[in-house]
Amino acid sequence: MSKRVIVLGGDGFCGWPTALHLSEQGMEVAILDNFVRRQYDFELGCESATPIASLATRLDAYRERSGKEIKAYVANMLDAERLKAILQDFGPDAVVHFAEQRAAPYSMIDRRHAVYTQRNNVLGTLNLIYAIQDVAPDCHLIKLGTMGEYGTPNIDIEEGWLNVEHNGRKDRVLYPKSPGSWYHLSKVHDSANLEFACRIYGLRVTDLNQGVVYGATTPEIKVAQDERLVNRLDYDGTFGTALNRFCVQAVLDIPLTVYGTGKQTRAFINIVDTVRCIRIAVDNPAKRGEFRVFNQFTEQWSVMALAELVRKVGRERFGREVHIAQLENPRIEKEEHYYNAKNTELPALGLDPYLLTEDVVHSIMRHCLLYKTRCDPQVVKTGVKWKETDNAALSGFVARRGS
């Protein structure tokens, strides 16, 4: 029998292509979403570079193209009873949890956004823990975490756990975390709560600490060549990830915004591999009572190296003179640091990484060019300042909401 998988946050940047990929792999898929990610665009006065159809239109288009049905539920994770009823109705073998506020800058705007992020993410996941325990205790929870939970320690980053020896005794403990934003801290709380739930309730959990995601298309979206299936592509200073933002800036002929020295090193992954990693986790579930952590990334890059790569592709493939602007860093972070993260578990289970090359950057930039007229250079800002307690005046959020 095919596995039944519900994708929480299935209307979003990672959730939508994941739902399509799992469906194409022969699984019975459902999506749960409350569409709050679309509301953030209204709040911030920006939108995806690509036109995003409604979820109903997307699902109709997918059914027309594939003959397959993806069921949709509209719900807020904070509504515990509704969440429980949905899990009982669908009866999942696996739950893929993307349904959290995902941007560090958004969480750092002010007190209200910090509280919202923590409440939405931590309490939503707690509701999910209890819903699974009550109605689907054998279900495998696949939770999207982030490599940002670890920070930039001066030792190697292991996969979730650390073997320690102290005063002649040995133990295995959760790897120490040093998150860099209220958003990343919410993910740390999630990890602690999920590990606790595995010990107490016997849940089976895979925590995927994902690197920075780049790209927007996957084979399931590209092969169809149907704009109703297109994925979102964020390029603004709040939700736009580094490489995607640089590619849009390059096609708009505006300088690439590198914060500080640009020597900050992070883990990265193409969205093509994001969906493949989810499928691998579904196919290889954790054991009952096991809290399993995979570091979900394929490469490590410095921010400046990414900018230089985009500049090279812009010059050699598009004949554009791409400039790099090193701006004062709005974040509180180490700009020069040791960074060596382990990622052995997913490759051991069969992940053959889709690595970042000039051809890949060329493909992303071509995709951005298709939607160049939709992009507003004004929304690519320096970014939210970490030390500010209210960034409204800086980023124009109040003015945009008022208009």
Name which of 219, 236, 321 is nearest 276 in CA terms. 219
Which of 187, 235, 265, 381 is an active site residue? Answer: 187
The one catalytic residue among 146, 206, 238, 257: 146
Q: Maximum CA pair distance of the chain?
A: 64
State yes or no: is 146 an active-site residue.
Answer: yes
Structure tokens at 225: 């060549």
A 10 A CB-CB count for 79 gives 14
How far is residue 229's CA from residue 15's CA, in Å, rounded to a whole number?
A: 13
- 150 a catalytic residue: no
Residues forming a β-bridge with 268: 212, 299
Name the residue type at position 53.
Answer: A
Catalytic residue flag (residue 187): yes
186, 107 Cβ separation under 8 angstroms: yes
Provide the pairing of β-strand 265-270 with 299-302.
antiparallel
Distance CA 207, CA 285 (A): 11
d(CA 227, CA 346): 32
Cα–Cα distance measured from residue 305 to residue 309, given in angstroms and rounded to the nearest whole number: 6
Record the tokens describing residue 105, joined without a space: 């800058």
Active-site residue, from 62, 150, 175, 183: 183
Residue showing tokens 């084979």: 219
- Give the residue carrying structure tokens 């040093």: 178
Annotated catalytic sites, by residue?
Answer: 146, 183, 187
